[in-house]
Amino acid sequence: MIRHVLRATCLLTVAAAAAGQEPPREPSVITEQVKPDLYVLRSAGGTQVSGNVLALIGKDAVLVIDSGYSQFVPKYREAIAALHGGKVTHVINTHWHDDHSEGNKLFGPEGALIVAHTNAREMLMHDNKINVVRTILDQAAFPPAALPVVTFDDRIELYFGSERLELVHVAPAHTAGDVVVILREHNVAHTGDVFLPAAYPFSDVDNGGDFDGEIAFATALLTELNRDTVIVPGHGMVARYDELVAYVDMLKIVRERIAALIKGGATLAQVVAAQPTKEFDAKYGNPKTYFLDRTYKSLSR
């Protein structure tokens, strides 16, 4: 969900050779059509994994929701050109983590209008450390040309061709500056990392994220969207409304269990041992990597 940190390319090559394995594949992008003129661009290969980029192809311009890692930007451009799209003129960041925003460093200097939540711009203006439990990720401040130039607090509407886009912020959740982008004419929503249909949420609690906010945000989306809405999550495959309903139900059940354990004086180790997510792990993955740790810290505050 957050960037995968690997060694420098030279070290990777040496290690791969020593192990008799191939070095990492060249960065590439896989394209999936969601609706007419609307495509998900997924990164593959390389040394990192970007979040899902959603590209809206206009007559003479292109709007993208999230900009991925910089190494994939040339591949995004190639994919867009193959779809008969032009220059990327608008970029919306669902949040400030660099697997969703680093491409700003290339799109911004070329004149793209970058939009994000007020808190996302603030975080991008200085160096940050992201605690993903097993390691600490460093994210350096972005240069001025890569910063959002349009920000908002709760909600804003943008128009791109015939499309009306609603940018919605409910509460600090994955980060303190999450945005869900709803394309009303297409009935498609890009949720960033507020909703992940195949993974537990990561609350960046050291930088303003909040697990209760995750629940509040995801719950609010149930009224913002409808059963026909196509959902593009921050990572993973395109999802449907029923998957969001199941996600919200899971979050509420797990929250009640962990909160009860904390109220009873349980330590983090005791919460982990109690397996409060047991029946959900097959669907959402290993809760011990980051989920239980960050949720325990959030609910203990």
What DSSP line would sit under 25-84, residue for residue?
PPPEEEEEEEETTEEEEEEESSSS-PPPEEEEE-SS-EEEE----GGGHHHHHHHHHHTT
C-beta atoms surrounding 252 within 10 Å: 13
- pTM for this structure? 0.91
Over pLDDT 90: what percentage of the chain? 89
Q: Is residue 262 within 8 Å of residue 297, measured between CB atoms?
A: no
The stretch 120-129 carries a mean pLDDT of: 98
pLDDT of residue 48: 86
Are 145 and 111 in contact by the 8 Å Cβ rule? The answer is no
Flag whether pLDDT at 159 surpasses 50: yes
Confidence band, pLDDT 50/70/90 cuts, at residue 21: low
| 36-77 pLDDT, tens digit each | 999 999 998 888 899 999 999 999 999 999 999 999 999 999
By C-alpha distance, which of 165, 138, 133, 244 is closest to 198?
244
Domains of the chain with bracketed CATH? 9-300 (3.60.15.10)
**Where does the chain have alpha helices with state H?**
9-18, 73-82, 98-101, 104-107, 118-124, 211-224, 241-263, 268-274, 281-284, 291-300
Average pLDDT for the chain = 93
Whether residue 19 is predicted with pLDDT greater than 80 in this model: the reply is no
Instruction: Give the pLDDT band (50/70/90) at residue 18.
Output: very low
The distance of Cα 271 from the centroid of its chain, to the nearest Å, equals 27
Query: Given pLDDT bands bounded at 50, 70 and 90, which one contains residue 208?
Result: very high
- How far is the CA of 239 from the CAs of 10, 21, 56, 158, 266, in angstroms? 38, 35, 18, 24, 35
